[in-house]
Structure 1
Amino acid sequence: MLNRHLKPLWFLSLSTLLAATAVAQEKVAWRDVRELTLEGRAWNEADLKAPFDRLPAKAEGVVRPPVWNLSRDSAGIAVRFVTDATEIHARWTVVKDRLAMAHMPATGVSGVDLYARDAAGAWRWVAVGQPSEVTNAKVLVKGLEPGTREYLLYLPLYNGVSSVEVGVPTGVEIRPADPRKPESVRPIVFYGTSITHGGCASRPGMVHTAIVGRRLDRPVVNLGFSGNGTMDQSISDLLVEIDAAAYVIDCLPNMTAEMVAERTEPLVRTIRKARPDVPILLAEDRSYTDSPFVPAHRRRNETSRAALKAAYQRLLDDGVKGLSYLEGAPQLGDDGEGTVDGSHPTDLGFLRMADLFAPAIEQAIAATAETR
């Protein structure tokens, strides 16, 4: 008897909830992020197989299959926009139904991450979009201080997206952010491994590449390919198509010393021939945080670093200009607390990496500018 009376009440409550949701959605005006200021894509949409791919369609069948598959993830792609809304929504559909990984949360793998410029012009975190389904419609933030400001929304790191929209209350202005100043429009291009790809940041804005982009106030192109950052010639040929402010090569975690010795110089020479004035930063691998206790990991760091340093010196001796070098040992700090698994940084590890990468890149760009 009790269940018979409760059933109509349950249906009534569900109907009321659905109706309220529908009304709430009607009060939100949605904008496709492709109509705003999209950054982090190195090729025009017409050259891509899908709008949020990281490599052009012509790369399929040219780069190795795992590299192509990983290039469909939207790591590093972000959108800038301006609004005076007091609440901001996001609606996005990811490509893969694996929203999280064992060592990386869904917010980093498949979420979106919102920043805003403060009164001093610095980027400050505002909100993260927590994915719960393949298609998500989330209120990112409500109750914002009134005022027009610029926002930056990062797309997922380890998932692709088929569509992304930003929502504001109906009738509120939202428009593309202004173009960057001429001196900062060219992107910093990172080529690397799962770490560059973003593993294992808690949210898309916390990978070191994104932190560097905010600190230097420049766009970033993230060409990190998990397990597959191996200085491939096919990637070198694509890198030179990008009108970059600087190239950062950070591939050692995926390479043996023999591979480093064989591939570093051809990669650098390919870039330098096509882009004679663009600085190139060669980065050693971060130390495995268990290397004090695991000799094999310690040897792996030592041998690959020695091979990279030797290649760097040969290039300098041969007169190659615009090269700089970043050592790996200090990148995660000296307390062993910067990773989730001994290899992939946590947010703490990425912050420490950014503390070294940002000034090194800034100095490399400045030094090259002085010689022009």
Structure 2
Amino acid sequence: MSTAIKMKLKIANIGKALLGAALCAGSLLIWQVAHAERLKDLASIQGVRQNQLIGYGLVVGLDGSGDQTTQTPFTVQSVVSMLQSLGVNLPPGTSLQLKNVAAVMVTASLPAFSQPGQTLDVTVSSMGNAKSLRGGTLVMTPLKGADGQIYAIAQGNVLVGGVGAAASGSKAQINHLSVGRISSGATVERAVPSSLGQGEMIYLELNDTDFSTASRVVEAVNRRFGPETAAAQDGRVIRVRAPQSSDQRVAFLGALESINVTPAQTNAKVILNARTGSVVMNQAVTLDSCAVSHGNLSVVINTEPVISQPAPMSGGQTVVTSASQIDIKKEPGQVLLLKGGTSLADVVKALNAIGATPQDLLAILQAMKAAGSLRAELEII
């Protein structure tokens, strides 16, 4: 083989190696970018929050599906009070039989920086025994905050995402009929004071307390805006120096929220829902080698009535008794060796090898945690 051909082969091999290294570097870069999150998804700005509003009102115009006044006297009292405020005085002792009115609770969320005149979506929920709120209209209802002040006024036609019909004891219903929603049904009347523009410092609050993530956020902010711009106050709150001008501060916060930060790895955790049997675990869960044996024990009790009929003309009485049959079944359990797993896929594969139901898996995971083979925190909800 000539020297020129050998040189060409060497150059080709070097090119392939460089291309492979570039592809590896590119895949690593993609992995890092894919796992980085915006700061606005990891933290919130202190003082920028929603406020819950609540109010009590009446929905009128129902097609006979309102509250039964004999069982919900507060509906009648509310109607009488509303009529008196409108200048209608009923004679004493008047008995109202209302079928087209329902007492409801109205709830809404007041976003941060909301100003008078803006509109909000409201949720209307029946608090009596109304059959349906479909086709009803919410009359003017003040919405109050936790301090008792009125921040919005709600009124409008209620939209219910369901339908139902009943006749002769039969009933058919689709979705929920006692809760509806009014789009842009409330008008803001009072603004909530905000302390965002006061002082030279703003505070970021992480969604989850984590010292590693807090330090990474500080490094990313200082890298973007300069040294000593951010400092961690603790594992959750980060103090950031911001411009004094409101215009510059808004632009600064917009740039701050768009910073990409790679959060620290979360704690290994397994969530157990004892009511539904659901088991959810994150990627940090690992498993040490252990042996598991599990068997099911079922007890079935079957009771049937037994009637003792006396002979004719004997003067005896018919006696009804019951005979019970108890059946106990115990399924044998095999001892299975579960090998240690360092990834979530290994853990799932090992748990599937047990062949237990989700309800059985709750007890097995608790026993594995007590034995020290499950490297995760158990949380029962």
Tell me, yes or no, whether TM beats 0.5: no
Compute the TM-score of the two structures, normalised by the length of structure 2: 0.19
Q: When you count strand as a share of all residues, which structure comes out higher?
A: 2
More contact order relative to length (CA 8 Å, sep ≥ 6)? 1
TM-score by length of 1: 0.20
Bigger radius of gyration among the two: 2
